[in-house]
């Protein structure tokens, strides 16, 4: 059954428009709180956020919702999404909330929910919460209303947890690292963690003002980072997104290393050291065919899922894998975290560099990706993919790529976009296939 509010990564939209209104945030708090009221203990929810202006409004509304159904609230302020997951578990909370629209512009916001185990919610939990949102809230009597408090050391706790994933025998002394925090949730914690491990840190994207999150910076706009790495003579550049659950790396020559290459590097490194579980890694249908072929050449398997890091994690848990992620930079290392963590993944890459003694340009470009093209088409109707014209264009594209490539068309779970991706041996054919399908979608 189609979900009304939840997409591939929580609830997301333009602020002050449904579903991202204060009223809806309160209802989500009431519904999620009621769903996770289990047992007779004092129930607790941890709420974190990124740096966008609307975070204050959404946080206040959610506190109102949770406390009205009897949940105590712990506010931790701006911290990365994986920090909320970690704190939910360590504080024995019943629920975790991250208020963030990830890589989207500041005018958007979102609500990501974590269960008491620190994992993103299942489809069943989200469906149950959606049903409660549309019902009259279960308000508690006055004496049972929840309390709220803010803790000031949340960022320090996350820094400690992230640093503990870095090999104890290694230091970052002698490494110059440029890190772009996208003016987002990691603007304090990520540079601090690298500095504490000994790196010479050049930090950019660390001056949030409520409106500049992801604005010309971060993992979705790495051009500034590319320039600074070369100008500074740095050994590595790290670009996080607004809530720091994804990472893109830049080598010392200014070349981008995407999530596929990062997964290949970590997977191969861990396999050689006997640390990789499951005999492969998990990625989505968007990962490049070159990654699949590279892994196969080293006796490793690539397991594909639908788009969304929570689907990657579900497959990892079911199959016993400990490395997975997305081409966009969500890297999940389940030995250390319950969700994608850009800083933790960066530390694994840095450990790989130190142990190898090779520059990033030699170490992190492990395979040649097949020509791949992704284009987005914004739509205003209900179901453009149901159009006969679009279906015919897709069928024609699949026929042209048969045996030499792949075609993936999907509706975005976070924005009103149709994403059209094709890859194959011939970049000309790839471009023609994508363009023809995009034109059909626009016409529909």
The enclosing domain of 423 has a CATH number of: 3.30.310.50
| CA 36 from centroid of its chain's CA atoms | 24
Kindly state whether residues 19 and 136 are assigned to the same domain.
yes
Supply the pLDDT for residue 101.
96
Q: What is the pLDDT of residue 384?
A: 83
Q: 314 Cβ partners below 8 Å, 6+ apart? A: 122, 305
Q: What is the pLDDT of residue 92?
A: 96
What is the extent of the structural domain holding 235?
Answer: 174-256
Q: Are residues 242 and 269 in the same domain?
A: no
Residues 123, 17, single domain; the answer is: yes
The domain boundary residue, chosen from 330, 346, 363: 363
Q: Domain check: are 15 and 47 in the same one?
A: yes
Note the pTM of the prediction, 2 decimals.
0.90
78 part of a folded domain: yes
Residues 49 and 179 in one domain: no
Q: Look at residues 335, 363, 391 and tell me which one is the last residue of a structural domain.
A: 363
- Which CATH number goes with the domain that contains 181? 3.40.120.10
Which of the residues in the chain have pLDDT under 70? Answer: 1-2, 381-382, 414
Domain boundary among 363, 381, 410: 363
List residues with catalytic annotation: 102
Residue 181 in domain: yes
Beta bridge partners of 281: 302
For residues 262 and 358, state if they share a domain: yes
- 409 and 304 fall within a common domain: no
Indicate whether 324 belongs to any domain: yes
Q: Are both 135 and 57 inside the same structural domain?
A: yes
Is 16 found in the same domain as 145? yes
Tell me if 168 is assigned to some domain.
no
Residue pair 78/48 in contact (Cβ under 8 Å)? The answer is yes
Does a structural domain hold residue 264? yes
pLDDT of residue 2: 61
Distances (CA, A) of 96 to 75, 220, 257, 340: 10, 26, 31, 15
In this structure, is residue 331 part of a structural domain?
Answer: yes
pLDDT at 381 (0 to 100): 67
How many domains are there within the chain? 4
Residue 224: CB atoms within 10 A of its CB come to 17
Is 56 a domain residue?
A: yes
CA distance 377 to 230: 34
Residue 166, in any domain of the structure:
no
Residues 251 and 291 in one domain: no
Burial degree of 134 (CB within 10 A; 0-12, 13-18, 19+): exposed
Distance CA 7, CA 339 (A): 17
Identify whether residues 28 and 131 lie together within a single domain.
yes
Residues 174 and 190: their CA atoms lie apart, in Å, by 18
Asked if residue 137 lies in contact with residue 280, where contact means CB atoms within 8 angstroms, the answer is: no
Same domain, 267 and 347: yes
């Amino acid at each position: 059954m189609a979900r009304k509010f939840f997409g591939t990564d929580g609830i997301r939209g333009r602020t002050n428009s449904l579903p991202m209104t204060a009223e809806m945030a309160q209802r989500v708090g009431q519904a999620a709180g009621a769903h996770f009221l289990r047992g007779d203990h004092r129930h607790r929810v941890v709420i974190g956020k990124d740096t966008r202006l609307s975070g204050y409004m959404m946080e206040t509304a959610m506190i109102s919702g949770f406390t009205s159904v009897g949940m105590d609230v712990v506010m931790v302020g701006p911290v990365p999404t994986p920090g909320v997951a970690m704190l939910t578990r360590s504080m024995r909370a019943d629920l975790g909330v991250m208020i963030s629209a990830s890589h989207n512009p500041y005018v958007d916001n979102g609500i990501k929910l974590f269960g008491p185990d620190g994992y993103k919610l299942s489809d069943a939990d989200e469906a149950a919460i959606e049903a409660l949102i549309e019902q009259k809230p279960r308000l508690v009597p006055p004496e049972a209303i929840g309390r709220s408090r803010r803790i000031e050391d949340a960022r320090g706790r996350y820094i400690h947890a992230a640093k503990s994933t870095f090999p104890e025998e290694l230091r970052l002394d002698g490494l110059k690292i440029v890190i772009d925090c996208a003016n987002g949730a990691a603007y304090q914690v990520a540079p601090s963690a690298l500095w504490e491990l000994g790196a010479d840190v050049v930090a950019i994207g660390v001056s949030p003002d409520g409106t500049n999150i992801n604005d010309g910076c971060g993992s979705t706009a790495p051009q500034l980072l590319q320039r600074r790495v070369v100008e500074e003579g740095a050994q590595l550049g790290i670009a996080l997104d607004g809530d720091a659950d994804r990472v893109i790396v830049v080598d010392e020559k200014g070349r981008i290393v995407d999530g596929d290459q990062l997964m290949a590097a970590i997977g191969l490194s861990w396999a050689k050291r006997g640390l990789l579980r499951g005999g492969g890694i998990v990625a989505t249908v968007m990962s490049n065919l070159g990654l699949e072929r590279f892994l196969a050449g080293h006796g490793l398997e690539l397991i594909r899922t639908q788009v969304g890091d929570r689907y990657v994690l579900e497959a990892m848990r079911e199959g016993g894998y400990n490395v997975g992620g997305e081409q966009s930079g969500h890297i999940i290392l389940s030995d250390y975290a319950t969700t994608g963590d850009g800083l933790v993944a960066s530390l694994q890459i840095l450990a790989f560099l130190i142990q190898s003694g090779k520059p990033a340009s030699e170490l992190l470009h492990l395979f040649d990706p097949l020509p791949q093209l992704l284009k987005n088409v914004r739509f205003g109707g209900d179901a453009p993919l149901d159009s006969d014209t679009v279906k015919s264009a897709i069928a024609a594209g699949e026929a042209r790529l048969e045996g030499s490539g792949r075609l993936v068309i999907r509706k975005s779970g976070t924005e009103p976009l149709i994403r059209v991706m094709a890859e194959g041996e011939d970049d000309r054919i790839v471009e023609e296939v994508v363009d023809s399908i995009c034109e059909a979608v626009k016409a529909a």
